[in-house]
């Protein structure tokens, strides 16, 4: 996976059994549910990002297949952009549908890929881990990713906050950004049903 750095001291993190350790002794355990929390502690243990219900609703919707054509298109584009053994970050990966689809697609094309999904919501990552145990997942803000400079071949950013300077920092020279943004009519029929026309 892309080279992780300690969110506290910025030194490299090394995986030892089920924990990531930095040379200064900061330690981050991989939760049983399959993600590592690399968010700096927040005052009062504040909840971050989408909650369980929001994540479940998104998964239920995506599992109906409406966005499968988009996911296939994204996977094909990424396959053309990355080398074998590519390091990819899905910045704001949510519940991991696209993250897992891309990994499965690249592998179906005979490529090895190391994909790290980052999201500020731990509930989203618990769900992403269920989609594929072969994804690496960490809670962090994409405004300050716990990733070394110039260590990533491609950043994927789908319907999630855009952090151009941070994406540029982690991309290798010549690295690629694939960004999906909603336009005015995104989910229009659904909005009409909910809000009226």
Ligand X SMILES: C[S@@+](CC[C@H](N)C(=O)[O-])C[C@H]1O[C@@H](n2cnc3c(N)ncnc32)[C@H](O)[C@@H]1O
The entry of ligand X, Zn ion, none near residue 49 (CB within 5 to 8 angstroms by kind) is ligand X
Q: Which of 147, 158, 171, 178 binds ligand X (CB under 6 A)?
A: 158
Q: Near ligand X by CB under 6 A, which window of 29-37, 88-96, 108-116, 189-197?
A: 88-96
Q: Which of 75, 121, 136, 151 binds ligand X (CB under 6 A)?
A: 121
The yes or no reply on residue 61 touching ligand X (CB under 6 A) is no
Do 116 and 174 meet the contact criterion of CB atoms below 8 Å apart?
Answer: no
When CB distances to Zn ion are compared, the closest residue is 6
Q: Which of 74, 82, 115, 120 binds ligand X (CB under 6 A)?
A: 120
Q: CA 185 → CA 10, 41, 127, 181, 192, distances in Å? A: 41, 38, 28, 11, 10
The yes or no reply on residue 97 touching ligand X (CB under 6 A) is yes
Which H, E and C letters describe the chain, residue by residue?
A: CCCEECCCCCCECEEECCEEECCCCCEEEECCCCCEECCCCCHHHCCCCCCHHHHHHHHHHHCCCCCHHHHHHHHHHHHHHCCCCEEEEEECCCCCHHHHHHHHHHHHCCCCEEEEEEECCHHHHHHHHHHCCCCEEEECCCCCCCECCCCEEEEEEECCCCCHHHHHHHEEEEEEEEEECCCCCCCHHHHHHHHCC
Residue (13 or 106) nearer to Zn ion, CB? 13
The entry of Zn ion, ligand X, none near residue 59 (CB within 5 to 8 angstroms by kind) is none
Q: Which of 23, 83, 161, 164 binds ligand X (CB under 6 A)?
A: 161
Residue (83 or 161) nearer to ligand X, CB? 161
When CB distances to ligand X are compared, the closest residue is 94
Question: Least distance from C-beta 58 to ligand X, angstroms?
Answer: 6
The contact set with ligand X (CB under 6 A) reads 49-50, 58, 92-94, 97-98, 118-121, 124, 141-143, 158-161
């Amino acid at each position: 996976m892309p080279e992780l750095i300690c969110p506290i001291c910025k030194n490299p993190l090394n995986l030892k059994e089920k924990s990531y350790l930095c040379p200064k002794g900061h330690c981050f355990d991989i939760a049983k549910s399959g993600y590592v929390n690399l968010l700096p502690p927040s005052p009062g243990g504040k909840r971050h990002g989408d909650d369980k219900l929001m994540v479940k609703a998104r998964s239920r919707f995506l599992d109906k297949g409406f966005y499968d054509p988009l996911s296939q298109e994204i996977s094909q584009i990424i396959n053309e952009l990355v080398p074998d053994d590519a390091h990819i970050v899905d910045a704001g990966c949510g519940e991991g549908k696209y993250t897992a689809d891309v990994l499965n697609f690249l592998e179906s094309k005979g490529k090895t890929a190391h994909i790290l999904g980052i999201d500020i919501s731990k509930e989203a990552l618990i769900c992403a881990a269920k989609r594929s145990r072969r994804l690496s997942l960490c809670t962090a803000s994409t405004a300050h990713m716990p990733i070394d400079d110039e260590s990533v071949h491609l950043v994927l950013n789908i319907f999630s906050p855009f952090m151009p300077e941070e994406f540029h920092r982690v991309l290798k020279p010549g690295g690629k950004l694939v960004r999906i943004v909603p336009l005015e009519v995104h989910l229009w029929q659904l909005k009409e049903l909910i809000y009226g026309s």
